[in-house]
Structures are given as structure tokens and as C-alpha cells.
């Protein structure tokens, strides 16, 4: 038992016995310390480590969760969700450490999805930056802030591939592509954990929602998914595998049933693939009440069976369903669940706590001074501003942008122009609306006094057009109109599926009013997904997608609008023309009739009422300069297994009058496979900066493993044959060359 000085608020030094977990010496390997502690735990204490509840921040007083106190005192909750704050987590931690028999500390978890207190653009937005360094730095900052406020574990990164913008959670994803999604998954895990998990400012990351949650039928959240194993392996698994390879500490199972079995109890996912094939050694938590939701799914008769099936499938921790608290001990006693399986699950949770140093210092993240110094620190705000401008995607510009700073008057109009809460987007962590700098406030810096006019105009819902008059008035006195439209934060994220992707409410009507003034109109779209622009495009002279840009989104977007920053974002999702085209993505199959097979041009894969092509392509984004590609060359016409990698080189030139950044993209087509193959697949990218007139050669390495896929016999690997490479600034890259992969 160690004694420690407590610095109390009572201006006297008090020597109090502080309970310390009785564990084996810290010099021993974690595995030995885990084994030692397990050997001294009762069955109930082991089960307690696999139980997580959500806290409401108070343990005493009205509205408190006093009912949890005896459970925590008995070591019955291994972790808590939604309890945060240096002081609050200390209060809850003291209860667990000082009252329980073995003084095992709790983990405190929170959804730190795109920032903790300093909120970055939503993940779909930061994915549009294609800037892995900036993305990793954002998660680093998020982890530093989260650990400073008592958090040990974030439920992020969300790495679901999302190809259906009806699904509101596309906002939390990195978009449609397995290669881009995998590189971003690695960057996010590194940002949260670094390669020294347990060092100050590091937290456990959590790859979610395993798996194929983004494939919900009809884009309806929580709905069923039916994906072939081949598509699982080629499309939905890669970002999760990348997270495992990056050392992600935990996984979360998806809500969806997959091929008839809910992910929560899906042994193919949680045992055969995650542990058997990928060697994952962390632990898996259910999503909120995922275990009890199986009663609705209809694959279990009661909560006991749900707990049994989930646990045996490989689900370690029960979030909020009470399934493990009520039934796991009895299941073990009855022999329905082997003790070895229980010890493996509990051991993984304890190992994480040992790795975080919580047994040496359960209060290491409970320092109010650190909390005050680090949350929303100036450097963090600047990083959020920088990533907000890097995430913006310019889709159209007839020359109205950048806004001419000298002397013009700007009208900023729309429901998203001055809406702090909406700018934060979904899953906004501990973001404070009062700390948000809105677009209106930022533009007021660039266009001071009477040179900025504002009107809300309307909401994103309802049919109230009474604000149009003020909008017309604001526009009348302006040279340029910036229309900030889109969707609010509560129209995005979890449980916000939409059957229509049109601008909601009276927004389109407002845009028509603004267009009718004859003034140039810049659409600044703030949303958590692609929204349809067919009716919008003729009404606007420019389209800038700002996503939900976070705490410093206003200054970041103003930097783009004024030209202080040259936009460099590229779409991480395909932008459809209509809901009827969904799911629409660039890496599609060719079909047997990609083009007309008859003189009338009737018989081929198409719609009779809309083109097959998207409104905007995956990987597309404009700049205030232009980039030209030429001189594509390959190091050899043949790639031989075991031989040197194929080097693909192209020259990129900044052909415009100002410096800019370009995301150079490499795509590959496998001409013939044992199964049909996509018409293109992203296999590399590099974001480069070029001065006006500057040229640079960009090279990519291709090895046979980069061409691997799930073959007809369900093995994973490349196949010899003819391929094409394409290099360019989006998924329509025209510069191409053939090569051959030879047989091993």
C-alpha cells in the first residue's frame, strides 16, 4: 500500500492511504502482470471488467447515477462512457480504485471522432484534404486534449467504407474508396496512439463499425446488410485490416446484421477474420446495446442467449446492454462459456490498462491544470483552421473566386452562415459553440464594417420564407453573394438517413431569389454528405464544399474564399446527379454492355432519364491554378513477381499564375481476372505543392501485392495478365500506359 500526499482544497496537507492496485512489479512484461492479476480475481470481478455503462457525469445529487455506485465499488464496471473532465473522472476513478477489492482502475471512453474540444472538420471533410500528415496531426491534438480531460479511449476512427450518401453516417467516414480509406485509417490510429501507446497524450483507438455498416440496405441506418464475402474482403475489410496493422487497440462491432448474423455475434468477423486471419490481440466492444438488440434482430430468444452467442463469437465488452452483467458469470459456471475465453477477454482489457500505465497512476489524466492549458489551445485552433481550408473542395468557379479583397461588399446569406452548432457537425465531442468562429464572423474580418451584409434567409427545414426579404435586401447592397446552405448538424451523422438529397426546406427557393438579383452567387455548401446540385448549378457561379468545418471552419473557409489559401481538396466520394443512381462509385464493374450494342444505341447498361456519370467524380477538385500532366513512363513494360517494382512516373506542371497544391492520383485497371474487376482502382496518391510554372516528376511504386484481390477460388493475391495505369488529378485520369504482370 503506498501513501501519497493529497493536495486538498482545505489548505492542509493530509496523509491518506491511497489504495493502489496490488499488481506484480512493473518491471515484468504486461502478459505476466495480467496473468498474475487474473489469478487473484473472482469470477464476478472478471465479468465486471467486461461491462461498460454510460455516465451522466454525476455520482451524487439529483439526476445522479447513484445506482451505479455500488456496482463500481464492487469493481463491476471496467469502463465508463461519456464521463469526462479531470475532476469528474478523478471522482469516478477514486470510487473504483479505492473501494474495490483489487483496486483495478476504470477506462474512460468518449466519442472523440473529429476533435475533442477543438473540433476539426468532420472526417468526410478531412478525408477530402488527402493530407495524411494533417489528418494524423488532428488526431494527435484530439488525443492530447482527450487525455487532458480524463479520457483513455476514443471510439474512433470510424473506418466504414461509405458509398451511399443517403446514409447520414457517411459524414463520419473517409468515403468510398478502400485504398484512401486504408491510408487514412492508419493515419488516424497513429494520431491517437502514436507508436508508444501509454506515453502521455496517447489514448486507445477503436476501429468501427466492424463490418460493412456502410452497406445498409436503402441507405437506412441500423438496417440489414447483405454483402458477398468477396466484396467484404475487397472493399469493406481493407481499412479495418489497415487499422490492425497500425496497432489499433480496440474494435467496435457494427449494429447491422451481416448475411443473417448481427456483427455483435458474428464469429466469421470477430473470430475467424479479426483474430484468426489478422492476428488482432486487442479487444472488441459492442455498439450501444448491440447485445440486447439481437432480440429485435431475431437471432436469439432472450438476453442470456444474446450474451452467450456474442461472447463465444468474440465480443469482449458489453456496452450498456446489461447482458454480460446479468448472465456471463452464470454462463461460465454452467460451462456454456469456457473460463479460457473469459480470461482471454478480461486479459485483453487488463493489458490495455497496464499499457496505459493506469495501475501505476490511475489519476494520470486527472490534472486540471493540464486540462485548462491544453483544451482549445491556440496551436490547436490554428491546426483546425488549416485543416478546414485544406478540406474544402472547389467544384465550380467561373472566375468569381477568389473574392477580390479590395473595396467590394459581400452579402453572406443562409442558415449555415452564422450557425456555430451546425458548423461543428455530428459527433462534436466537447466542442463549445461559444468558441466557434462562424463564416460570418470570419468574413467580417476580411470585409469589415458595411462591407459585409448578412441575412439568415431561411432555415434548412420547414417552408417559412419570411426571411427572404431581408436576404434580398442584404444582397441588393452587395457586389457578391456567398450563400451558405446545406444541412444542419442534426441532419447529419447517426440515424439521419435521407430519402431525398435535395437542399432541404426553402433553401432552393432562397437561392433562386439570390440568383434573381443578378449578382454573382457563390454557393458555400456545409453538409455531412453530397447533396444534389442539378437544380442548384445553373443558379450559382461557384460551388465550394466546406463540409461541417468545425470550430475554426469560418476562418478556414474565409481563407479559401478570399484567396489567402488556394483550395486543394479532392472529393473522397462520388457526387451523384440523382438518388436513383445510388450506389454510385468510380470503382464500378464494367458489365457486359458498357456501351450500346445496337445501331439505335438502346441496348446497354444505362438509364433512359439520366446519364450514368456523376455530377462530380471521385478525386475531383478545382484549384485557383491549373495543373497539366504529361510524360507518363513506366520503368518496364513487364512486372515480374520477385523482380523489381514497377515505377510509374509522370510530370505535373502548374500551368497557372499562382502556387497551388495538387493531389496526384494513380489508378490501375486489371483487364482480365478470374472474376470481373473494377474499371479502375486507386493505388497511390501524393499531394504536392508547385509554384506557378513549376513542374515536377511524381513516381509511384507498384508491386504484384498492390494488384491483389479476392480471386475466384477465394484466395487473395494478384493474377498475371494485362493491366493499365492511369495518372491524373481525379478518377477520370486520362494519362495511361499498359503493362503486363507475368506469372510467378
Q: Which of 130, 288, 447, 667 binds ligand GLC (CB under 6 A)?
A: 288
Between CA 181 and CA 188, with CA 187 as vertex, the angle to 5 degrees is 85
Cell numbers found for residue 225: 446488410
Window 437-476: contact mask with ligand GLC (x via CB under 6 A): ----------------------------------------
- Farthest-apart Cα atoms in the chain, separation: 94
Closer residue to ligand GLC, CB minimum distance, 162 or 702: 162
Asked whether 211 and 252 are in contact (CB, 8 A), the reply is: no
DSSP string spanning 431-482?
--GGG---HHHHHHHHS-GGGEEEE----SSS---TTHHHHHHHHHT-SEEE
Q: Is-catalytic flag, 386?
A: no
Closer residue to ligand GLC, CB minimum distance, 173 or 419: 173
Classify each residue of 81-92 as buried b or exposed e, where b means 16 or more C-beta atoms within 10 Å of its C-beta: bebbbbebbbbb
Q: How far is the CB of 155 from ligand GLC (least distance, A)?
A: 3
Window 57-86: contact mask with ligand GLC (x via CB under 6 A): ------------------------x-----
Closer residue to ligand GLC, CB minimum distance, 493 or 555: 493
Q: How far is the CB of 113 from ligand GLC (least distance, A)?
A: 8
> Bridge partners of 650?
698
305 binds ligand GLC (CB under 6 A): no
> Bridge partners of 739?
723
Closer residue to ligand GLC, CB minimum distance, 81 or 142: 81
Q: How far is the CB of 332 from ligand GLC (least distance, A)?
A: 27
Closer residue to ligand GLC, CB minimum distance, 111 or 670: 111
Closer residue to ligand GLC, CB minimum distance, 221 or 435: 221
Q: How far is the CB of 57 from ligand GLC (least distance, A)?
A: 15
287 binds ligand GLC (CB under 6 A): yes
53 binds ligand GLC (CB under 6 A): no
Asked whether 554 and 438 are in contact (CB, 8 A), the reply is: yes
Closer residue to ligand GLC, CB minimum distance, 147 or 566: 147
Cell numbers found for residue 111: 466519442
Segment 493 to 522, residues that bind ligand GLC, using CB under 6 A: 494
Catalytic residue among 160, 177, 287, 318: 287
Q: Which of 120, 130, 155, 324 binds ligand GLC (CB under 6 A)?
A: 155
Q: How far is the CB of 220 from ligand GLC (least distance, A)?
A: 14
Q: How far is the CB of 551 from ligand GLC (least distance, A)?
A: 21
d(CA 372, CA 365): 12
d(CA 315, CA 134): 33
d(CA 617, CA 619): 6
SS3 content of the chain, % helix, strand, coil (to 5): 30, 20, 50
208 binds ligand GLC (CB under 6 A): yes
> Bridge partners of 117?
none
Window 82-121: contact mask with ligand GLC (x via CB under 6 A): -----------------------------x----------
Q: How far is the CB of 288 from ligand GLC (least distance, A)?
A: 4
Nearest CA-CA partner of 152 in 435, 354, 311? 354
164 binds ligand GLC (CB under 6 A): no
367 Cβ partners below 8 Å, 6+ apart?
86, 148
328 Cβ partners below 8 Å, 6+ apart?
47, 50, 307, 311, 337, 342
Q: How far is the CB of 81 from ligand GLC (least distance, A)?
A: 6
Residues at the contact surface with ligand GLC, assessed by CB under 6 A: 81, 111, 155, 208, 287-288, 494
- Annotated catalytic residues are 287
Amino acid at each position: 500500500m503506498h501513501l501519497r500526499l493529497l493536495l486538498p482544497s482545505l489548505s492542509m496537507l493530509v496523509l491518506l492511504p491511497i489504495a493502489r492496485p496490488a499488481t506484480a512489479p512493473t518491471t515484468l512484461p504486461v502478459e505476466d502482470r495480467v496473468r498474475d492479476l487474473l489469478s487473484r480475481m473472482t469470477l464476478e470481478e472478471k465479468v465486471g471488467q467486461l461491462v461498460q455503462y454510460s455516465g451522466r457525469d454525476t455520482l451524487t445529487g439529483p439526476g445522479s447515477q447513484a445506482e451505479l455506485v455500488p456496482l463500481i465499488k464492487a469493481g463491476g464496471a471496467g469502463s465508463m462512457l461519456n464521463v469526462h473532465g479531470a475532476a469528474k473522472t478523478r471522482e469516478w476513478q477514486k470510487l473504483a480504485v479505492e473501494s474495490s477489492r483489487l483496486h483495478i482502475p476504470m477506462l474512460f471512453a468518449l466519442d472523440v471522432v473529429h476533435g475533442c474540444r477543438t473540433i476539426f472538420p468532420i472526417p468526410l471533410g478531412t478525408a477530402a484534404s488527402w493530407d495524411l500528415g494533417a489528418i494524423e496531426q488532428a488526431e494527435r491534438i484530439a488525443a492530447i486534449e482527450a487525455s487532458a480531460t480524463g479520457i483513455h479511449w476514443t471510439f474512433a476512427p470510424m473506418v466504414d467504407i461509405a458509398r451511399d450518401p443517403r446514409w447520414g453516417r457517411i459524414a463520419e467516414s473517409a468515403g468510398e474508396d478502400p485504398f484512401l480509406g486504408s491510408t487514412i485509417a492508419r493515419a488516424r490510429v497513429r494520431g491517437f496512439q502514436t507508436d508508444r501507446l501509454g506515453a502521455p497524450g496517447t489514448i486507445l483507438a477503436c476501429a468501427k463499425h466492424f463490418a460493412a455498416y456502410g452497406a445498409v440496405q436503402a441507405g437506412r441506418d441500423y438496417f440489414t446488410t447483405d454483402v458477398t464475402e468477396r466484396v467484404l474482403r475487397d472493399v469493406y475489410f481493407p481499412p479495418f485490416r489497415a487499422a490492425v496493422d497500425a496497432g489499433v487497440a480496440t474494435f467496435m462491432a457494427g449494429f447491422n446484421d451481416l448475411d443473417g448474423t448481427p456483427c455483435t455475434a458474428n464469429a466469421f468477423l470477430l473470430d475467424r477474420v479479426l483474430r484468426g486471419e489478422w492476428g488482432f490481440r486487442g479487444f472488441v466492444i459492442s455498439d450501444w446495446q448491440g447485445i440486447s438488440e439481437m432480440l429485435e434482430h431475431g437471432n436469439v430468444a432472450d438476453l442470456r442467449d444474446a450474451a452467450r452467442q456474442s461472447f463465444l463469437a468474440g465480443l469482449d465488452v458489453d456496452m450498456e446492454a446489461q447482458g454480460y452483467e446479468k448472465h456471463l458469470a452464470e454462463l461460465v459456471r454452467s460451462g456454456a462459456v469456457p473460463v479460457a475465453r473469459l480470461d482471454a477477454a478480461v486479459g485483453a482489457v487488463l493489458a490495455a490498462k497496464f499499457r496505459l500505465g493506469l495501475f501505476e497512476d490511475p489519476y494520470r489524466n486527472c490534472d486540471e491544470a493540464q486540462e485548462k492549458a491544453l483544451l482549445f489551445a491556440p496551436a490547436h485552433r490554428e491546426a483546425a483552421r488549416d485543416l478546414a481550408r485544406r478540406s474544402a473542395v472547389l467544384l465550380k468557379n467561373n472566375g468569381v473566386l477568389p473574392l477580390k479583397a479590395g473595396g467590394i461588399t459581400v452579402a453572406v446569406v443562409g442558415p449555415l452562415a452564422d450557425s456555430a452548432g451546425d458548423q461543428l457537425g455530428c459527433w462534436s465531442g466537447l466542442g463549445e459553440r461559444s468558441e466557434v468562429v462562424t463564416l460570418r464572423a470570419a468574413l467580417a474580418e476580411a470585409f469589415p464594417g458595411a462591407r459585409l451584409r448578412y441575412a439568415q434567409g431561411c432555415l434548412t427545414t420547414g417552408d417559412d420564407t419570411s426571411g427572404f426579404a431581408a436576404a434580398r435586401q442584404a444582397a441588393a447592397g452587395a457586389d457578391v453573394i456567398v450563400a451558405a446552405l446545406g444541412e444542419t448538424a442534426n441532419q447529419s451523422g447517426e440515424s439521419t438517413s435521407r430519402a431525398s438529397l435535395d437542399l432541404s426546406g426553402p433553401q432552393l427557393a432562397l437561392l433562386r431569389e439570390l440568383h434573381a438579383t443578378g449578382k454573382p452567387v457563390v454557393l458555400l455548401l456545409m453538409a455531412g454528405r453530397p447533396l444534389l446540385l442539378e437544380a442548384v448549378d445553373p443558379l450559382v457561379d461557384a460551388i465550394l464544399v466546406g463540409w461541417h468545418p468545425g470550430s475554426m471552419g469560418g476562418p478556414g473557409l474565409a481563407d479559401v474564399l478570399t484567396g489567402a489559401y488556394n483550395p486543394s481538396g479532392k472529393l473522397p466520394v462520388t457526387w451523384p446527379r440523382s438518388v436513383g443512381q445510388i450506389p454510385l462509385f468510380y470503382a464500378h464493374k464494367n458489365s457486359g454492355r458498357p456501351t450500346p450494342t445496337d445501331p439505335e444505341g438502346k441496348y446497354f447498361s444505362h438509364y433512359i432519364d439520366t446519364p450514368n456519370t456523376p455530377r462530380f467524380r471521385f478525386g475531383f477538385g478545382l484549384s485557383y491554378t491549373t495543373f497539366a500532366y504529361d510524360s507518363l513512363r513506366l520503368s518496364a513494360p513487364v512486372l515480374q513477381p520477385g523482380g523489381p517494382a514497377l515505377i510509374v512516373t509522370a510530370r505535373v506542371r502548374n500551368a497557372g499564375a499562382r502556387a497551388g497544391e495538387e493531389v496526384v492520383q494513380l489508378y490501375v485497371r486489371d483487364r482480365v481476372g478470374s472474376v470481373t474487376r473494377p474499371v479502375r482502382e486507386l493505388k497511390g496518391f501524393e499531394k504536392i505543392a508547385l509554384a506557378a510554372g513549376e513542374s515536377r516528376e511524381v513516381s509511384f511504386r507498384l508491386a504484384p501485392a498492390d494488384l491483389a484481390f479476392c480471386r475466384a477460388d477465394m484466395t487473395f493475391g494478384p493474377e498475371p495478365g494485362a493491366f493499365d495505369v492511369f495518372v491524373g488529378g481525379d478518377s477520370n485520369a486520362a494519362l495511361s500506359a499498359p503493362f503486363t504482370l507475368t506469372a510467378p
